Structure 1
Amino acid sequence: VGQGTEIAQLRPYQLGDDVRRLDPAATARTGQPHVRLQVPERQLTTWMVLDMSASMAFGTADRLKSDVAEGAALVVGRISTRRGGRLGLVTCGTDRDRRLPPRGGRTGYIALTRALAEGVGSDGEGDDTALSRALGRTGRVAQRTGLVTVISDLRGPRDWRREMIALGARHSLLVIEVRDPREGALPDVGHLSLVDPESGRHLRVDSSDERLRSRYAAAEREQREGVARDLRRAGARHVVLSTDRNWLRDLGRALT
């Protein structure tokens, strides 16, 4: 995409459209021919869906997942509001989820920074369906084709698949997944009391059990592979950031 042009808009094919602009991926996902149109960047509307749930307030490396999420949100927000772009925000996972209408330029960016000041993961609730509901709300309010950016750790049930596919059929979709390295393996430290921040469930386990650690690692791999597979089906651009890496460099490489 060249300078002065947004990520192309998608809309159903109409009689007289240039067939060379047919988008095979969107057509396959929806079962209806779609064309991809380039429009001036100043018209781009970006909706950001930001997961502020309790699981984001976790980190065993240099920072919390919430720190990475906030930083990524600011980067995407800055890019989205340059040269007249408009930014809207939907948050989920707290007791005061909010929806901010799209605003242009500095006004849109300031609105984002104020929302972030509440703190990602600071008072998140144990609700593992919050993301799917937020995606559904976004699909209802994002009437104009544009860019939807989702920032989340994507933990818990993948009940957001249908909503993600619906967004990907109409909009350009960017999903930024935030991880922590300790989530992929159970440490061998004996008896542990574990709490699922999304559901609030408590569990006591013996982490010295090699079979338990192996099952945990296998389940985690299966979950991450399932997330990646579902996002591919939705036509999303999938970016993974980690708390133990230079997330800004990784994000910059993914977006260039």
Structure 2
Amino acid sequence: MTDDLPPLGGTASPEAVFASLELAVRRRLPGRLHGDKRGLTLGSGSEPEEIVRYRPGEDDVRRIDWNVTARASGTPHVWRPLAEHELESWVLVDDTASMAFGTVALEKRDVAAGVVAAVALLTAGPGNRVGTAHLTRDGLAWSAPVLSRAAAHRALRPSSTPRHASGGALDLGSALRAFATRRPRPGVRVVVTDLVEPDGRLERPFSWETPLRRLAAAHETLVVEVVDPRELELPDVGTVTLEDPETGRRREVATGSRRLRERYAAATAAHRAAAAEAVRSARAAHVLLRTDRDWVRDLARHVNGRPMRRVPA
């Protein structure tokens, strides 16, 4: 990790963390941040979208395209504009027990909080807002959308997760279904999770695949997967007692076994590959962030210059 990364897991004030993160994002994304977005439906606006035959009483005569009209033997044609509106982004944050894990400077939930703030900064623009939904052990906790910079500040405050969750215990698949139906208006949707299944499932199909596919069909969707290096490779540290944060089950593991470490690495690599393929199959974008790397740089490398995909209105 580099020295100028935001001190998300430290004791710095939220204002200092915000300033550090904003500086890091701007350094890694030179030029204009990605806050401008064109509308996805026809309506009042200024950008031409399509040329159609003029309909008296319905179309504005000021929008007659005289060049097309001349080519059409004098039959009047007008251009219809693309509606312009503010961008409302929503971030679903996995705040279950497995995210409270980290063996380097940060826990996965620290990176998740930073991602929410970074997304807010990247979508900053006049009138643009960001809302969040936190998946907790008690269900989904919603935070109303606020202006982007305010959302970034909110994400970096200690204990910023809303306390009141509803819906009871949910897995990621159920959370994605609720996430998709709560705000149906097309926009940007970001899902921040470690893609760890509560039952430890490593192979497809995963419970979240179909809900993610439906979400991505209606919104510009990015899945941010957060992992810790110890989840990828098991170090040789003798016999240790490991506890599953989701279930509380414990097991003693002899990490001195080379064969065990190789099997562990192969299983986690297969899971990462299966999860990545599932996200691609859902037609969502995917970026992998690690707690031991410059996660701001990795996120910026993914989004810098990436065009927004059109989704149906």
Query: Which bin holds the TM-score, normalised by the shorter protein?
Result: 0.7 to 0.9
Shift of 1:212: 1.6
In the alignment, the residues of structure 2 paired with residue 199 and residue 151 of structure 1 have an alpha-carbon distance, to the nearest angstrom, of: 21
Give the counterpart letter for 1:71 in structure 2: G
Counterpart selection for 2:278 from 209, 227, 230: 230
C-alpha spacing 1:198/1:188, structure 2 compared with 1 (3 Å): same
Is 1:67 the counterpart of 2:98? The answer is no
The number of aligned residues is: 224
2:235 maps to which residue?
Answer: 187
Is 1:48 the counterpart of 2:91? The answer is yes
Counterpart selection for 1:245 from 276, 293, 300: 293
2:120/2:148 contact within 8 Å kept: no
Secondary structure of the 2:241 match is strand
Counterpart selection for 1:142 from 157, 160, 183: 183
In the alignment, the residues of structure 2 paired with residue 3 and residue 205 of structure 1 have an alpha-carbon distance, to the nearest angstrom, of: 46
1:165/1:234 contact within 8 Å kept: yes
Larger Cα-atom Rg: 2
In the alignment, the residues of structure 2 paired with residue 177 and residue 145 of structure 1 have an alpha-carbon distance, to the nearest angstrom, of: 23
2:220 maps to which residue?
Answer: 172
C-alpha spacing 1:7/1:183, structure 2 compared with 1 (3 Å): farther
Secondary structure of the 1:151 match is strand
Alignment of 1:10-159 (within 5 A): 40=84, 42-95=85-138, 97-105=140-148, 108-109=151-152, 112-113=154-155, 117-118=158-159, 129-156=170-197, 157=201, 158-159=206-207
Q: Deviation string for 1:123-151 (max 9, x for gaps)?
A: xxxx9953222211111112111111011
Query: Share of identical aligned residues, percent?
Result: 36
Q: Deviation string for 1:62-120 (max 9, x for gaps)?
A: 2221221111110102233432112221110243631123344555555x438x53267
Give the counterpart letter for 1:150 in structure 2: V
Counterpart selection for 1:6 from 19, 32, 37: 37
Structure 2: tracts of 5 or more residues without a match: 1-32, 42-48, 51-80, 162-167, 305-313
Q: Deviation string for 1:21-54 (max 9, x for gaps)?
A: xxxxxxxxxxxxxxxx9754x4222111011112
Secondary structure of the 1:149 match is strand
2:65 maps to which residue?
Answer: none
In the alignment, the residues of structure 1 paired with residue 241 and residue 265 of structure 2 have an alpha-carbon distance, to the nearest angstrom, of: 18
C-alpha spacing 1:208/1:109, structure 2 compared with 1 (3 Å): closer
> Over aligned residues, Cα RMSD in angstroms?
3.0
Which structure shows the bigger proportion of residues in helix conformation?
A: 1
Give the counterpart letter for 2:274 in structure 1: G
Secondary structure of the 1:205 match is strand
Q: Deviation string for 1:160-183 (max 9, x for gaps)?
A: 111111101111101111111111
2:5 maps to which residue?
Answer: none
Give the counterpart letter for 2:256 in structure 1: S
Q: Which has the higher contact order (CA 8 A, sep 6+)?
A: 1
Counterpart selection for 1:200 from 229, 244, 248: 248
2:35/2:124 contact within 8 Å kept: no
